[in-house]
Amino acid sequence: MPTYDFKRLSAFDFEQLVADLLRAEWKSDLEIFTPGPDAGIDLRAFSDSKKEALVQCKHFPQTTFSKLLAHLKKEELPKVRLLAPQRYVLATSLGLTPANVKTLVGLFKPYLKRQSDVFGRDRLNSLLRRHKAVETANFKLWLTSTAVMQRVLHNAEHSQTQFEVDRVNRKVPLFVQNEAFPRAQQILDDSRVVVISGEPGIGKTTLAEMLLFAHLAQGFRPVVIEGGIEEGKRLFDPTAKQIFYFDDFLGETFLPERPELLAKNQDAALLHFMEAIRRSKASRFILTTREHTLRTALSSSERLRHGSLISHRCLLELRDYSFGQKARILYNHLFFSELPAGYKAAIVQGAFYIRVIRHRNFNPRLIEWLSGYARVKDIPASGYQEHVSALLNNPGEIWAHAFDNQISEAGRNILFTLATVQWSAEVDVLEAAWRTLHDFKSKKYNFRTTANDFKHSLNNLEGSFVKFSDRKVSFINASVRDFVQNLFRNNAEYGHDLIGSAVHFSQIRVLRDLQKERDSETLNAILMPSLPLLEALKRVITVPHLRWHKDSNGRATGTYIDDAPDSRLRTIIRWADDTKSMELLGLVSLAYDHLQKSFSVFIPGMLEVLRTLETSAWVYANGGADLHAEIMDIVLGMLGQARTYDWRSVFDYRATASGWTAKSEARFATEYQDYRRKGVFDEVEDCNELSDLESMRDTLRDIQKSHKQVFKNVIKRLNVAIEKTRKSMDEGVDDDYQPISQSNSAGPDDIDAVHRLFGSLL
């Protein structure tokens, strides 16, 4: 049984715990007075003889007995004498010796009648051992015990991926269970998979991390997926207790500049992996995504629309937070913050906290930001209310103050770079791109640089703007990326500097995406086909898009660090067509030459280029038709090595393409017959994993259904192999996970209780 020091509980949490323990011990109900500058009463109970007992809770876990005694003499003893209760009971989170208890009985005599009416830390732990249901019902208490933390650290250390235990552990005292928590937990308990969706800042990541943390405490080992679902498949062990976590899981898979991921069955791979988790006896899977990203993915993928994704979804909304829960969120952040007393007093003054709680833009992320002293320390306490009001009224400014006033030029350049280098944020890749931007601006604006600018600035950004995981850098949340990217819409120099120093094609393409996403006079001017822009495009259009390294088996593996060559070609075609620019049209051939030399030619990507040409009338009329014919010839020539997903892409294209000729049909028919006769069976033999078998079967079913082709015998053969593989995986360990009990207290929901709650901050 764990021993608790109660340091991670707020005064409100501690009072709730004492109330629950005394209810269980006395078998009597207690009336709770929410903490505040009261008359010396926190709890009130009535015994069978109708005698009243008043209980005082003093949450002093990190002080000394002499300080507690001085406080009781000065503040509480006069109140107790005035009330003259029949029975006075004192509970404190401070450890007490027998001599300490005698002193307290003597201080409050005759109201504190016996030593057994004094509950120090050790006695409270004894009550917890006697009433285990109270412990399991108190989620935060259980998660912060020493024994639980030891299990969490052990399981995180033996994980094959990085899980930031300390960072998540710091969030536990701040966490307030809302209405979405039991919904997410129930979905996870029932199906082993939960997809947490919601708007930015609503608390998706925190909810996911609390569920993950609780599983680690029960013996699960974390697998944090950073790069893509293939990473999860590689680390999946059906015989082990694993909890997979994929934050913003749709963020890369469904980016518009990478349609080849869908063409290559990444949507199917995701659904198959989710199904593998569902069938396993001991694994679980937590995913998060922005709600609008989820809607975009569903519109892009028929498989996701008709798959099980939505059935696993838990939508987190602001209405999931009651008035009392919002109050607890604000209270917890202030109680555990490093804000000096003057700032907390500013929140309490004039019941300003009510305005915060009821504000239309209230969300957990804003509260986290506003309660961080490092972010507001240059705002005097006297101006704190005004500062909070301004940020609540305009949440978009949440990052602006720190960006303008609290980070260096080198730090700002790191953020600009990170916002445009989309494919990899490995530290050295980020630094290389940052270096060119920083040096470019240093010469242009005449400021000094030092060798340690990057390292120092990156360290200063950590925790406020960026986070580190597995040697990679990413924004601390998606709203920071939104903020930084929006700066390019409002300041032309930011865009000019980025274009002048770009080392990745994606850096310029991101600006183009921002321009198309929302009209901006600034971006329109920056992205006109001027000489500097054309020179920059020529410079980056041929840079490598993959970074190669060897995996644990010695195999060469490529990691994306930039847009793929076919994606670059599509971007230039559309851009030239939109602007009717002959200069941009001239870059189409350069992009095409690079595509041919890059060894990254694959059928789904090339078909996307054909579609782009067919919908770009100006380019098609100015040389694009010849390019279309040449690419079509390449695609048809590749059909001899085509896989199932390639054939599905060709069938889909063939059904709607305007450029499909009789000659194309004849070559297609010849290659397709060869595939049906031999190629499809060779592909079955090449499937080594369950997900490969399922993906191939599902793709053949798609072709069979959508294009009236018959693959019944092959599908039957695949189903036999799938069942055989599943049976071999079912010999795993049982999932002995115990569901988390929902907290008994949702928070003080009436306004008077909230007033008393915040009174305890003073």
The string of pLDDT tens digits covering residues 2-28 is 678 899 899 888 988 999 999 999 988
Of 461 and 170, the one with more pLDDT: 461
In angstroms, the CA 238 to CA 578 distance is 51
Average pLDDT, the chain: 87
pLDDT at residue 738 tops 80 = no
Helix axis angle for 582-597 and 531-540, nearest 10°, is: 10
Q: How confident is the model at residue 650 (pLDDT cuts 50, 70, 90)?
A: very high
pLDDT at residue 51 tops 80 = no
Q: What pLDDT does 283 receive? A: 92
Q: What pLDDT does 33 receive? A: 64
Tens of pLDDT, residues 244-271: 999 888 875 555 445 444 545 678 888 8
Structure-block tokens of residue 127: 């009550």
Q: How confident is the model at residue 41 (pLDDT cuts 50, 70, 90)?
A: low
Q: What pLDDT does 424 receive? A: 56
Residue type, 519: D
Q: What pLDDT does 741 receive? A: 56
Are 251 and 227 contacting, i.e. CB atoms less than 8 angstroms apart? no
In angstroms, the CA 414 to CA 455 distance is 10
Residue type, 628: H
pLDDT at residue 235 tops 90 = no
At 288, is the secondary structure helix, strand, or coil? strand
In angstroms, the CA 58 to CA 14 distance is 8
Structure-block tokens of residue 226: 């950073």
pLDDT at residue 620 tops 70 = yes
In angstroms, the CA 173 to CA 59 distance is 14
In angstroms, the CA 134 to CA 18 distance is 10
Q: How confident is the model at residue 161 (pLDDT cuts 50, 70, 90)?
A: low
Q: Buried b vs exposed e over 235-263: b needs ≥16 C-beta within 10 Å?
A: bbbbeebbbbbbbbbbbebbbebbbbbbb
Q: How confident is the model at residue 200 (pLDDT cuts 50, 70, 90)?
A: confident
Q: What pLDDT does 318 receive? A: 85
Fold of 11-137: Trna Endonuclease; Chain: A, domain 1 (3.40.1350)
Q: How confident is the model at residue 399 (pLDDT cuts 50, 70, 90)?
A: confident
Count other Cβ atoms within 10 Å, centred on residue 66.
9
pLDDT at residue 575 tops 90 = yes
The rounded Cα 247 to chain-centroid distance in angstroms is: 4
When mean pLDDT is compared across 167-181, 441-455, 481-495, 498-512, the lowest value belongs to 167-181
| Extents of the domains making up the chain | 11-137, 142-320, 399-547
Q: How confident is the model at residue 122 (pLDDT cuts 50, 70, 90)?
A: very high
When mean pLDDT is compared across 37-46, 216-225, 712-721, the lowest value belongs to 37-46
Q: What percent of the chain has pLDDT over 70?
A: 91
At 5, is the secondary structure helix, strand, or coil? coil
Q: What is the DSSP letter of 675?
A: I
pLDDT at residue 38 tops 60 = no
CATH class of 142-320: alpha beta
Point out which residues pair with 286 in neighbouring strands: 194, 245
Q: Mind spelling out the 3-state secondary structure of 335-367?
A: HCCCCCHHHHHHHHHHHHHHHHHHCCCCCHHHH
Q: What pLDDT does 296 receive? A: 80
Q: What pLDDT does 555 receive? A: 74
Q: How confident is the model at residue 167 (pLDDT cuts 50, 70, 90)?
A: confident
Q: What pLDDT does 729 receive? A: 67
| C-alpha closest to that of 549 among 459, 674, 424 | 424
Pairing of strands 193-198, 242-246: unpaired
What does the pLDDT average to over 462-471? 81
Same fold, 11-137 and 142-320: no
As a 3-state breakdown, the chain gives helix, strand, coil percent values, each rounded to 5, of 60, 10, 30
Are 49 and 77 contacting, i.e. CB atoms less than 8 angstroms apart? no
Of 598 and 286, the one with more pLDDT: 286
Are 96 and 124 contacting, i.e. CB atoms less than 8 angstroms apart? no
Pairing of strands 52-58, 283-290: unpaired
Write out the DSSP string of 28-95: --EEE--SSS-SS-SEEEE-TT--EEEEEEE--TTS-HHHHHHHIIIIIHHHHHHH--SEEEEEESS-
- The pTM (predicted TM-score) of the whole model is 0.75
Are 174 and 325 contacting, i.e. CB atoms less than 8 angstroms apart? no
Count other Cβ atoms within 10 Å, centred on residue 220.
24
pLDDT at residue 745 tops 70 = no
pLDDT at residue 367 tops 90 = yes
Q: What pLDDT does 672 receive? A: 96
Please state whether 29 falls in left (phi above 0), alpha (psi between -120 and 50) or beta: beta
Q: What pLDDT does 746 receive? A: 53
At 524, is the secondary structure helix, strand, or coil? helix
pLDDT at residue 48 tops 70 = no
In angstroms, the CA 747 to CA 324 distance is 5
| C-alpha closest to that of 536 among 574, 501, 486 | 501
In which residue are the tokens 């892009």 written? 300
Q: What is the DSSP letter of 439?
A: H
Are 533 and 527 contacting, i.e. CB atoms less than 8 angstroms apart? yes
| C-alpha closest to that of 280 among 337, 232, 211, 213 | 232
Q: How confident is the model at residue 468 (pLDDT cuts 50, 70, 90)?
A: confident
